Chains A and B, each alone.
Chain A
Amino acid sequence: KNEVEQSPQNLTAQEGEFITINCSYSVGISALHWLQQHPGGGIVSLFMLSSGKKKHGRLIATINIQEKHSSLHITASHPRDSAVYICAVGSRNQFYFGTGTSLTVIP
């Protein structure tokens, strides 16, 4: 069993749609990270959360510690949002990664 599960694995959306990517984890965590990897391969850290909600532009990340669940929302999606989104959690001295959600936004 993976410590971090993401859904969906693949997602195709029309430009402008509201998108939600989910992450569930089974370990106690210090923090949860959302990462974005573009087709060129570079990785960018989007959010680091330990509670509540964070917003950056069109991106919103929420976490529910009791339910061990986090969501990444993208409002008014755009083709440049096409990327792989990876959920990662830090637990004690270890890190665990989801397998990623591949998002394609069609113009």
Chain B
Amino acid sequence: DAGVIQSPRHEVTEMGQEVTLRCKPISGHNSLFWYRQTMMRGLELLIYFNNNVPIDDSGMPEDRFSAKMPNASFSTLKIQPSEPRDSAVYFCASSLTAMNTEAFFGQGTRLTVV
């Protein structure tokens, strides 16, 4: 398996634009996680899915952020409208189960909102 695949690797966009980040989890993994990492706040969990169902979205900063997992092999994280403070590295990870198995991380998407 190629591991967790995220796209794009880098995204530069203007404030106010919609941004969509994509993630393909490892085949057979039932849980998928979206994280954000910044210098100021470190690594934060935004939302995670179990069997395509969102379980905990308490980390999603505000209504501008939304995440979907339409099927077991694909998830998106959307920011609309984007703001400069959304600039961060966004990681996607997947694991067999949510709590008690090892998570595998994608390479991350570096988002810059200007």
Q: A residues engaging B (CB < 8 A)?
A: 30-31, 33, 35, 41-45, 47-48, 50, 86, 88, 90, 93-95, 97, 99-100
- In contact, A31 and B100 (Cβ under 8 angstroms): yes
Smallest CB-CB separation from A91: which chain B residue? Answer: B99
Smallest CB-CB separation from A31: which chain B residue? Answer: B100
- In contact, B89 and A41 (Cβ under 8 angstroms): yes
Interface pairs (21), CB distance under 8 Å: A30-B100, A33-B102, A35-B43, A35-B105, A42-B108, A43-B93, A43-B105, A43-B108, A47-B102, A48-B100, A48-B101, A48-B102, A48-B103, A86-B42, A93-B55, A94-B56, A95-B45, A95-B48, A97-B42, A97-B45, A99-B42
In the complex, chain A residues whose CB is within 8 Å of the CB of B44: 97
In the complex, chain B residues whose CB is within 8 Å of the CB of A86: 42-43
Cα of A41 to Cα of B38 in the assembled complex, Å:
11
B100 contact from A35, A47, A90, Cβ within 8 A: A90
How many A-B pairs have beta carbons closer than 8 Å: the answer is: 53
In the complex, chain A residues whose CB is within 8 Å of the CB of B52: none
Cα of A30 to Cα of B97 in the assembled complex, Å:
12
- In contact, B99 and A100 (Cβ under 8 angstroms): no
- In contact, B98 and A90 (Cβ under 8 angstroms): yes
Cα of A30 to Cα of B31 in the assembled complex, Å:
15
Q: Is B74 an interface residue (CB 8 A)?
A: no
10 closest A-B pairs by beta carbon, nearest first, are: A30-B99, A43-B105, A90-B99, A48-B102, A95-B45, A93-B56, A31-B100, A45-B102, A97-B43, A99-B42
- In contact, B105 and A45 (Cβ under 8 angstroms): yes
**B35-63 vs A, Cβ < 8 Å mask (1 yes, 0 no):** 00000001111001000000110100000
Smallest CB-CB separation from B104: which chain A residue? Answer: A45
In the complex, chain A residues whose CB is within 8 Å of the CB of B45: 94-95, 97
A33 contact from B91, B103, B108, B110, Cβ within 8 A: B103
